[in-house]
Amino acid sequence: MDGPAGVGKSTVGQLVAKELGYRFINTGEMYRALTWKALERGLDLADEAAVLALAESLKWDFKAVDGGVALKTFVDGEGVSARIRDERVGANSSLVAANRGVRRFMCRLQRRLGRGGGIVMEGRDIATHVFPDADFKIYLDASIDERAARRYRQLKAAGVAADRQKIKEAILTRDLNDLKRKINPLAQAADALVIDSTRLNLHQVADRILKAVRAAHGG
Ligand code: DC
């Protein structure tokens, strides 16, 4: 499953995975985790060789926590999920995600995780590059205003101060970076089911996907 920032891929992906008895992986976590570590170590993110060397030096594990379907990212034994959500990591992750060696490294990890099947994986290049032979491909989209509104509501619900305009600008910048990147940019796979979720809630999106998956696989 691929799609732009803030479109609900993780929520939808987990609903679908749960229903199918599959695992779920958010591959953005991997790029964010590396960005967080690189910032923590004071690396110049534009130094591609140094950032790749850091990726290769870390121990990467993916484990389910609290009985959930999601395999969460652990780096050198430490769960990173909470630390990688802030805007500083999000904004800087575009640079790390444009690093050719890093993308090759992450792709290897992702292919290893998906080797046995039974997994919903979401990101930007999963259906186009990482798993071109996936059993089922989904491209999830929504208008920029709807994505900004969802992110705003999420932050408010979590008790975080949020500025609607700033959120929209941050999402637009991320979209642009993901779309114009030279290596494996965000794109729709030709054979993906494309869903515009602007006027659907995320449960409706998950239901639509499940119906299509079951129809395609005879059940
Ligand atoms: O989905 P997210 O916003 O957490 O992703 C974080 C960053 O990683 C973002 O800049 C897009 C990038 N990314 C990518 O290039 N390829 C992926 N498969 C997943 C994420």
Q: Is 67 left (phi over 0), alpha (psi -120 to 50) or beta?
A: left
Count of domains forming the chain: 2
CB 181 within 8 A of CB 128: no
99 lines ligand 1 (CB under 6 A): no
Are 148 and 72 part of one and the same domain?
Answer: no
**Residue numbers in the chain where pLDDT is lower than 70:** 219
User: Residue 143: helix, strand or coil by DSSP?
Assistant: coil
Q: Following DSSP, what letter does each residue of 4-60 receive, concatenated? A: -TTSSHHHHHHHHHHHHT-EEEETHHHHHHHHHHHHHTT--TT-HHHHHHHHHHSPE
Q: 36: which residues sit within 8 A by CB, 6+ positions away?
A: 80, 83, 84, 89
Establish if 217 belongs to a structural domain.
no
**How far does residue 218's CA lie from ligand 1's centre (Å)?**
33
Write the pLDDT tens digit of every residue in 76-102: 999 998 889 888 898 899 999 999 999
168 lines ligand 1 (CB under 6 A): no
Residue appearing with tokens 């779309």: 179
147 lines ligand 1 (CB under 6 A): no
Establish if 219 belongs to a structural domain.
no
CB 202 within 8 A of CB 12: yes
Establish if 133 belongs to a structural domain.
yes
Give the DSSP H/E element, type plus range, for residue 95.
helix 87-97
Q: Two tokens at 19?
A: 């229903």
Phi, psi of 123 (to 5 degrees): 180, -135
Are 42 and 127 part of one and the same domain?
Answer: no
User: Residue 62: helix, strand or coil by DSSP?
Assistant: strand
Are 111 and 130 part of one and the same domain?
Answer: no
Range of the domain at 94: 23-116
Establish if 44 belongs to a structural domain.
yes
Report how far residue 133's alpha carbon sits from residue 206's, in angstroms, rounded to the nearest whole number: 21
**How far does residue 219's CA lie from ligand 1's centre (Å)?**
32
Are 34 and 74 part of one and the same domain?
Answer: yes
Atom of ligand 1 nearest to the CA of 174: 10
**How far does residue 166's CA lie from ligand 1's centre (Å)?**
19
Report the pLDDT value the prediction gives residue 219, as an integer from 0 to 100. Answer: 61
Amino acid type, 170: A
Establish if 185 belongs to a structural domain.
yes
**How far does residue 1's CA lie from ligand 1's centre (Å)?**
12
Are 95 and 162 part of one and the same domain?
Answer: no
Establish if 184 belongs to a structural domain.
yes
